[in-house]
Amino acid sequence: MQTNRRKFIRNSMLGLGAMTIVPGHVVFGKPGRVMPSDKVNVAFCGIGNRGGQILKDIMRTGLANNVAMCDTDMGAKHTLDSIKEFPDVKQFQDFRVMFDKAGKTFDAVVVGTPDFSHFPITILAMSQGKGVYVEKPLTRTFQESDLLMKAAEKYKVVTQMGNQGHSDGNYFQFKTWVEKGIIKDVTKVVAHMNSARRWHGWDTGMKTFPKAEPMPETLDWDTWLGTAQYHDYNKDFVNGQWRCWYDFGMGALGDWGAHLIDTVHEFLELGLPYEVDPVKIEGHNPLFYPQATTLDFKFPKRKGMPALTISWYDGVDNLPELPEGYGESELASNIPAASTGQIEKRKLNPGKIIYSKDLIFKGGSHGSTLSILPSKNAEKVMKNLPEVPESTSNHFKNFLLACKGEEKTRSPFEVSGPLSQVFVLGTLAQRLNTKLTFDRDTQQITNHTVANELLQGPPPRKGWEEFYQL
């Protein structure tokens, strides 16, 4: 069976001209597009925890049919709500089997799985001409994001990364304010996420991964591991705990960075930094993320815009200095609840502070709009603020409408791929606890051999190599 799967994957990677499995509603020769009058047939990978939330949001649009569901822990408690709601939908534990047996029935794939497992599902879907919605961050390694960006260009499919605020108020406001010259000459951005994380309080002297534990009967552990290096099962690897480990997740930066600096990155055309400096690493451990981190990402001058530094703060008590007149810190109401419950409200809630030559802007997370801190310059600007257009669709509807050819996605891989690569560089600085110098032209880390090798990451496990051979 495994040999057949490898042949299937290899054949699917040969290119559009050799494809034997295509969506049933492809029109005009363009993959990933369905007739405007039809609903989009969707397969869901990951149907519990965050994946279950995305499934509900996609179906709530009224634009999708749920035709297949896949989860490596199918039948576990966190998947039961989705199973009960869609009892007649085909179920799979291995996405490769789902593509093999049901690939002709769906036009698009939604990936709501752990960070490290995004890549193989996504690249396979794209190679078969299917639109893909992938939860943030796009990938866990620099190379994987690069491969997905190249695949998007090659296969011309609809792509969307799930930083949902990219379809809400902040997206349209930031875009308009940049175009109209309200946001200009930005030299510094502070992004902060200071709530307690899953690994806070762990023993920072830990030298080995957790010991093996009895595995739940519902879990296909080998498929859960996917391309990742082998680890024995432990409850601290699954159901959100994967976010704690460098081998599986992207820590606080990968989790929240896409909701805090996404518009800054896109509309100020930042690209990739030339330096990442771990100004503060508290509780460093080579296996899991720090107890607190301050990172400086340094970007050069660009298209008439000045050099810019993004300072990232995480850790409960690792708070940035606030500018005069900052006022209260508001918690955005549209932040999805984590599997461990809604994010707690703190003295300083997740947000950003944007420093320009003449103005200081204050913002929250996700789709929260910016405000301008009081000053004489602000008084003049506030009298002539431009009108900001309303969003025509939320992030999920935007993806489905794009699959139907009616809109363009707002966080396609050409936009979200470089953003995710910024996070990868940040997590490497955390992991190695050292400053990294990055050559933006060659896309190589020039001052640290190990860090440069980690841009690609360790080779995939045996049997999973095909996904990297486009």
Look at phi and psi of residue 454 and say left if phi exceeds 0, alpha if psi is from -120 to 50, else beta.
alpha
The whole model's pTM is what?
A: 0.91
Q: Which CATH architecture has domain 2-165+408-415?
A: 3-Layer(aba) Sandwich (3.40)
Q: Kindly write down the DSSP assignment for every residue of 228-289, as one continuous string.
A: SPP----GGGSTTGGGGBTTT--HHHHHHHHHHSHHHHHHTT--S-SEEEEEEEES--SSB-
Q: Which amino acid is at 212?
A: A
Give the pLDDT score at 335: 67
| Short-list 410, 385, 399, 417, CA closest to 168 | 410
> Distance between CA atoms of 323 and 286, rounded to whole angstroms?
34
Residue 364 has pLDDT above 50, yes or no: yes
| Short-list 91, 315, 80, CA closest to 204 | 315
Q: Which CATH architecture has domain 167-202+234-386+421-454?
A: 2-Layer Sandwich (3.30)
Residues 13/469, Cβ–Cβ less than 8 Å: yes
Average pLDDT of every residue of the chain: 92
> Distance between CA atoms of 142 and 418, rounded to whole angstroms?
9
Nearest-10 crossing angle of helices 49-60, 395-403: 60
Query: Each residue of 458-467: pLDDT tens digit?
Result: 999 999 999 9
Could you give the 3-state DSSP secondary structure of residue 310? strand
Residue 340 has pLDDT above 80, yes or no: no
For the ranges 32-46, 102-116, 313-327, 403-417, the lowest mean pLDDT is seen at 32-46
Residue 297 has pLDDT above 50, yes or no: yes
> Distance between CA atoms of 72 and 87, rounded to whole angstroms?
17
> Distance between CA atoms of 306 and 320, rounded to whole angstroms?
22
Residue 379 has pLDDT above 90, yes or no: yes
Give the pLDDT score at 36: 65
Query: Each residue of 12-46: pLDDT tens digit?
Result: 444 333 333 333 334 333 455 566 669 999 999 99
* % of the chain at pLDDT higher than 90: 87
Residues 421/457, Cβ–Cβ less than 8 Å: no
Give the pLDDT score at 347: 74
Residue ranges per structural domain of the chain: 2-165+408-415, 167-202+234-386+421-454
Residue 422 has pLDDT above 90, yes or no: yes
Which band of pLDDT confidence, cut at 50, 70 and 90, is reported for residue 409? very high
Residue 449 has pLDDT above 50, yes or no: yes
Cα Dmax for the chain = 71
CA 22 from centroid of its chain's CA atoms: 27
